[in-house]
Amino acid sequence: MDNLEGVVARATQGDKEAFAKLYDEYIKKIYNFIYYKTHHKETAEDLTSITFTKAWKNIESFNKGSIQAWLYTIARNTVIDHYRTVKQDKNIDDVWDLSSNTDIAMDADTVLKVEDVKKYLQDIAPIQRDIVIMRVWQDLSYKEIAEITGKSEANCKVIYSRAISKLKLKMPIVVFIAFLFLK
């Protein structure tokens, strides 16, 4: 995409073509991020719709920072709103927080696929889980993750090292690898 800053600036002025460029640039990342937090195609599509609709309706309020981080934040909050509405439970952030016998629809192939790592990802805090997902499955750089989470790179490392201390005994290598992915 040409000159991101210029495109963002035009989008904030209500330029639909500029927003369309942002849409094209980020739709896949945002959809995938939401899917990794819902494990259900139709739900991911609905929440992606809501995310980009909110973004378009509120683009004028975006004034500085990373547009990617802004979109991820909307996506993350949209997922949280969805689960807290559906399950009426303030402690649920995404599908990883649900128990195994939940009645929430999930794609069967995905359920099988994440089975091995679910128990590890469930044991860490949502923000740490998001970081692992973004780094390992979305291949985002550490700098991008820091932008999205609104934390400094150094701060993210601290958060992660604490996660390691907590979980090392359970699955030292898994956690250690997750940390090292965030080098």
Partner 1 sequence: MEKNIKQILKDLYQIDPTLKTKEQDLIKIINKFLSSRPDTKLDNVFVKKLKQEILGEFSSVRYSVWDNILNTMSYNKFSYIRGGALLLLIVAAPLVYFLIFSNKIPSSDIIDFGFEQKISNTKNNAFGTLALGGTNKESADSVVTRSQTGDGSQEFAVSAPIQAMGLGGGGGGIPVATESMMIAPEYMDNYTYKYIGDTLELKDESLKVLKRNKDDGMGKRLASLFGRANFGLFDISKFNNLDVNNISLSEDVEKGYMMYINSKEGMVSISRNWDKWPQVRTFALERQLTINDIPKDDVLISITDKFLDKYGINKSIYGAPEVDKSWNVYYASAEDKSMISAPGQIGVIYPLLLDGKEVYEQYGTRVGLNVFVDIKENIVLSIDGLWTQNYSSSNYDTVTDVGKVVNFAEQGGINNRVYYSPDSKQPTVLNLDTPKVVYMRYYKYENNINEELFIPALMFTIENMPQSRYYGQRAIMVPLIKDMFDTNTLGDDTGLPKPVPMPLIEGGSQAIQDFDTGTTNVEVSL
Rg of the chain's alpha carbons, rounded to an integer? 17
The nearest distance, CB 152 to partner 1, in angstroms, is: 20
* Least distance between partner 1 and beta carbon 166 (Å): 18
In the bound complex, what is the minimum distance in angstroms from residue 136's beta carbon to partner 1?
5
Of 49, 134, 139, the C-alpha closest to 160 is 134
CB of 108 to partner 1, least distance (A): 6
Cβ 150 to partner 1, closest distance in Å?
A: 22
What's the Cα-to-Cα distance from 47 to each of 32, 71, 82, 85, rounded to whole Å?
Answer: 11, 12, 8, 13
Residues near partner 1 (CB under 8 A) are 2, 16-17, 19-20, 23-24, 27-28, 31-32, 35-36, 39, 41, 44-46, 48-50, 52-54, 56-57, 86, 100-101, 103, 105, 107-117, 136-139, 173-174, 177-178, 180-181, 183
The DSSP secondary-structure symbol of 123 reads: T
Alpha carbons 175 and 80: distance in angstroms, whole number: 24
Q: Is 91 helix (H, G, I), strand (E, B) or coil?
A: coil
Q: Nearer Cβ to partner 1, position 105 or 158?
A: 105
Q: Which is nearer to partner 1, 50 or 145 (CB)?
A: 50
Q: Quick one: CA dihedral 20, 73, 153, 114, positive or negative?
A: negative
- Give me 74's structure tokens: 């909307």
Tokens at residue 110, please? Answer: 């995905």
Query: 22 vs 159, which CB is nearer to partner 1?
Result: 22
SS3 142: helix
For partner 1, give the closer residue by CB, 64 or 91.
Answer: 91
Measured from the CB atom, is 50 or 156 closer to partner 1? 50
